[in-house]
């Protein structure tokens, strides 16, 4: 497992870091508000933080779903947020041709779960030289993620992490197998996605539902299991979020959850 740095964030070093933000860029004002709000909390807690938002949600359940501002405007917004806050930034990429353009503005290119085996996309992301975060597909065994990592590393980029977001279990449901965290951590640093893991895909009449009450339960278990980072989609008004609000963590609940996770992380390291 390779340790590496993303700005001031050390990945795989035994410390804990956070990836968080709204699912999609709803507006520049809202994205900046979320970045500032989360940064204040993480700064108080001395928790390394990477801001996350997507410029395009290409995998919506319905064609009517809000996708975001698109590549050009979205990349410009992410660049301005990075410059204004000093935060590292991560965003999804969906097509190989977008990777170089997106890499001009962000620190980490994220490969969506449904695209985690797409060789051309993985290679294009790797060749930008930016760190690459691969979300494990809901249909992929944890040990098979070694092949995705090998594609990125083989393209000359050792800065790669894996994110767990649950396995498909029957229809419209995801289940997290905590064993996968330990298995994948032998391959690369591991992040646990506490919000997509409580999603109930395509279960709410053309959109996904969710069970956000279980976010703290799963996040606590993952941190106790020894993950390197936690991924949370956070929104100040989940009921009116334009994407994935049903499984988002309310901003008002972020600080107490992070305090809890840091306490668990400290105890787990002390007893390891």
Q: The tokens of 73 are what?
A: 């405007």
pTM across the whole model: 0.94
pLDDT of 174: 87
pLDDT of 82: 97
pLDDT of 172: 80
pLDDT of 269: 79
Instruction: Name residue 193's beta-bridge partners.
Output: 231
Burial of 155 (0-12, 13-18, 19+ CB in 10 A): middle
pLDDT tens for the 272 residues of the chain, in order? 689 999 999 999 889 999 999 999 999 999 999 999 999 999 999 999 999 999 997 775 666 667 888 999 999 999 999 999 999 999 999 999 999 999 999 999 999 999 999 999 999 999 999 999 999 999 999 999 999 999 999 999 999 999 999 998 878 888 999 999 999 999 999 999 999 899 877 655 566 677 889 999 999 999 999 999 999 999 999 999 998 788 899 999 999 999 999 999 999 876 65
| Cα torsion angle, 245, 54, 226, 48, sign | negative
In whole angstroms, give the CA distance from residue 185 to residue 143: 10
The set of long-range contacts for 83-88, using a CB threshold of 8 Å and a minimum separation of 24, is 84/32, 85/32, 85/35, 85/36, 85/39, 85/51, 87/7, 87/35, 87/39, 87/49, 87/50, 87/51, 88/6, 88/7, 88/8, 88/9, 88/50, 88/51
Topology, domain 4-271: TIM Barrel (3.20.20)
- Every domain of the chain and the residues it spans: 4-271
């Amino acid at each position: 497992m390779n340790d590496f740095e993303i700005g001031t964030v050390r990945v795989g070093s035994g410390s804990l870091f956070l990836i968080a933000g709204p699912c999609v860029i709803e507006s520049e004002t809202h994205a900046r508000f979320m970045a500032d709000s989360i940064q204040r909390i993480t700064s108080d807690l001395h928790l390394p933080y990477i801001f996350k938002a997507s410029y395009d949600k290409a995998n919506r359940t319905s064609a009517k779903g809000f996708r975001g501002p698109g590549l050009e405007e979205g990349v410009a917004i992410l660049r301005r947020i990075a410059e204004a806050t000093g935060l590292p930034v991560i965003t999804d990429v969906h097509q190989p041709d977008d990777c170089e353009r997106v890499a001009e503005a962000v620190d980490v290119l994220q490969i969506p779960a449904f695209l985690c085996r797409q060789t051309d996309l993985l290679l294009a992301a790797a060749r930008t030289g930016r760190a690459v975060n691969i979300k494990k597909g809901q249909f992929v065994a944890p040990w098979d993620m070694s092949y995705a990592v090998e594609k990125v590393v083989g393209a000359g980029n050792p800065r790669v992490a894996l994110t767990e977001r649950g396995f498909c279990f029957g229809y419209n449901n995801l289940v997290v197998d905590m064993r996968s965290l330990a298995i994948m951590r032998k391959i690369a640093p591991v992040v646990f996605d506490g919000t997509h893991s409580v999603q109930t895909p395509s279960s709410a009449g053309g959109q996904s539902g969710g069970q956000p009450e279980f976010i703290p339960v799963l996040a606590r278990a993952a941190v106790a299991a020894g993950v390197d980072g936690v991924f949370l989609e956070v929104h100040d008004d989940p009921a009116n979020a334009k994407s994935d609000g049903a499984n988002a963590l309310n901003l008002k609940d972020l600080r107490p959850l992070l305090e809890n996770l840091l306490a668990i992380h400290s105890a787990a390291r002390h007893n390891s």
